[in-house]
Amino acid sequence: MARVRLIYVGLLLASFATTAGAQKAQVMLVMPEHAMLAIEPPSVRSSSLITDGAMLNLIRNGFPAHLHYKLERWSTGGFFDDVTAQADWDAVVRYDALAKVFQVYRAVGKKTTFLGTFPDIGAAESALDLPFSAPIQPPKKGKKTYYNLVLDIETLSLTELDEVEQWLRGELKPAVRGKKNPGTAVGRGVRTVMVRLLGGEKRRYEARSGTFRP
């Protein structure tokens, strides 16, 4: 595995308040070393996305957390910057009240991966925070480029719980077999009073790399 270094880490803290001394949520882009920029995509890392009290209370009360990642690769140097590549993927964190465990899933394109069952929210958070190689094509050599990542987190409404259960079991065939993105199926219509307890309809985080030329 190629050695990696931080070329630039973009951090945006959550738009909600945290208690004194609590670790703030953040998302990061970790870039490969310069010789690998035209070969390897960036990795995404994060911390403390789902461990604050409001989010944890909703998850524990049966509202799975849906995380939608959108990474764009931009070219620059002309009159306007242009999007030259884009990748989307999703994660879902749910609480099994009977087993008293947290379950974490990731969906990339047609494939949904079960990341594991965890005894507490901290362990589930750790699974989300591990570096994940973004499913995006690196730029060609000589192109002046940067990456921009947007992460939206929302809890699923009551009307969507049956749908997410089907999705996790693999029964929502249009979503997991290519007719539409799983995140689209899972994330439609998330507009409930419970979501507003988070301080808004969505929590949004953003990270951008520095401009580079591979």
Beta partners for 29?
44
The confidence score (pLDDT) of residue 1 equals: 40
Confidence of residue 39 (pLDDT cuts 50, 70, 90): very high
The confidence score (pLDDT) of residue 164 equals: 64
Amino acid (1-letter code) at residue 7: I
Structure tokens at 162: 């049956």
* Statement: residue 101 has pLDDT above 60: yes
Question: CB-based contacts of 12: which residues, under 8 Å, 6+ apart?
Answer: 26, 27, 204, 205, 206, 207
The radius of gyration of the chain from alpha carbons, rounded to an integer in Å, stands at 18
| CA 160 to chain CA mean position, Å | 19
Higher pLDDT, 4 or 36: 36
Asked which of 88-102, 144-158, 190-204 is least confident by mean pLDDT, the reply is: 190-204
Higher pLDDT, 74 or 175: 74
Give the single-character DSSP code of 212: B
What backbone phi and psi angles, to 5 degrees, belong to 157?
-75, 165
* Statement: residue 14 has pLDDT above 80: no
pLDDT more than 90, % of the chain:
50
The confidence score (pLDDT) of residue 93 equals: 93
Q: Would the pTM of this model clear 0.85, i.e. be above it?
A: no
* Statement: residue 89 has pLDDT above 50: yes
- Closest CA relative to residue 55, chosen from 121, 123, 141, 127: 121
Give the span between the Cα atoms of 181 and 187, in whole angstroms: 10
Give the span between the Cα atoms of 63 and 66, in whole angstroms: 9
pLDDT more than 70, % of the chain:
68
* Statement: residue 6 has pLDDT above 90: no
What are 40-64's pLDDT values in tens digits?
Answer: 999 999 999 999 878 888 888 888 8
* Statement: residue 116 has pLDDT above 70: yes
